[in-house]
Amino acid sequence: MTYCVALRLNKGLVFMSDTRTNAGVDNISTFRKMFTWQQPGERVITLMTAGNLATTQSVVSMLDERTKVPAERKPSLLEVPTMFQAARLVGETLRETIQMNSSTGLSADSVFGATIIMGGQIKGMPPRLFMIYPEGNFVEASEDTPHFQIGETKYGRPILVRAYDRDMSFEQAAKLLMVSFDSTMKANLSVGAPLDLQVYRTDDFAICHEQRIDQSDPYFQTIAAGWGEALKRAFQSLPDPSF
């Protein structure tokens, strides 16, 4: 499993992803699931992936043009004129990769599918956030639904929905994501630290803050321990029924 969340705020975009991959509970590894393409001053595009690791790694390699020697690589993601076309490019690459694997006639225990969250900004246009499906099509975050989750989305959703506020600061957003990830990691062994955090401030055209958060990170430990207590206090603050 996996857990990735992206928030669209008034100030910009915030991304967080876990790094655990697993094929059964007895076969776990650590892989980065957050990838960024940037042309400082002009564009930043960040992807987070969930699903079959061979598929997602292949998609990222194709987008990176790793079939070419390093000197000749000019990733199209750095050249498409709009975020909409970037989403289309990623969607097509994803669909083709899945089709290529599926059409060999070989089958795997798990399917080849994957889902991708893509967010970023290209100069002259506002930041945009997309969720891209295995079929290659995609939806965009809106005022009504300003965040996307992929992977193990359920445990961490109630707090996300309730504490999210589009006016929140990047620090508060990072805290919210840590609470949401902590609830998920406590409930599903296949979501695990370290976590990758990335903050993009609107019109910066460069990453504002990037951080890898280990299980032993002092702030993360404060949140993990403090949230349980805070939840209990919140629970106790509600009136008891009488019967």
DSSP type of residue 128? E
Residue type, 145: T
DSSP string of 91-115?
HHHHHHHHHHHHTTS---SS---EE
Helices (H), the chain: 53-63, 83-102, 157-163, 170-187, 218-237
Query: Quick one: which segment of 11-19, 121-129, 134-142, 180-188 binds its own copies (CB under 8 A)?
Result: 180-188
Query: Quick one: which segment of 22-30, 33-41, 118-126, 157-165 binds its own copies (CB under 8 A)?
Result: 157-165
Cis preceding-peptide flag for 194 (omega within 30 of 0): yes
What SS3 class is residue 130?
A: strand
Comparison of 89 and 160: residue with beta carbon closer to its own copies: 160
CA 237/CA 97 separation, integer angstroms: 51
Of 155, 181, 200, 205, which one interacts with its own copies (CB under 8 A)? 155
Query: Quick one: which segment of 54-62, 102-110, 138-146, 219-227 binds its own copies (CB under 8 A)?
Result: 219-227
CA 119/CA 13 separation, integer angstroms: 7
Of 140, 159, 202, 204, which one interacts with its own copies (CB under 8 A)? 159
Non-local CB neighbours of 85 within 8 Å, separated by 6+ positions: none
Considering only residues 19 to 48 of the shown chain, the ones binding its own copies according to CB under 8 A are none
- Shortest gap between Cβ of 151 and its own copies (angstroms)? 12
| Residue 209 is a binding residue for its own copies (CB under 8 A) | yes
Query: Quick one: which segment of 38-46, 52-60, 105-113, 170-178 binds its own copies (CB under 8 A)?
Result: 170-178
CA 132/CA 4 separation, integer angstroms: 13
Comparison of 118 and 176: residue with beta carbon closer to its own copies: 176
β-partners of residue 2 are none
Comparison of 76 and 211: residue with beta carbon closer to its own copies: 211
Of 55, 93, 149, 183, which one interacts with its own copies (CB under 8 A)? 183
Non-local CB neighbours of 209 within 8 Å, separated by 6+ positions: 170, 197, 198, 199
| Residue 176 is a binding residue for its own copies (CB under 8 A) | yes
Of 70, 104, 167, 243, which one interacts with its own copies (CB under 8 A)? 243
Query: Quick one: which segment of 34-42, 50-58, 143-151, 181-189 binds its own copies (CB under 8 A)?
Result: 181-189
Map tokens 């007895």 to a residue: 26
Q: What is the CA radius of gyration of the chain?
A: 19
- Which spans of this chain sit near its own copies (rule: CB under 8 A)? 154-155, 157-159, 161-163, 169-172, 174-176, 178-179, 183, 186-187, 199, 209, 211, 219, 222-223, 226-228, 230-235, 237-243
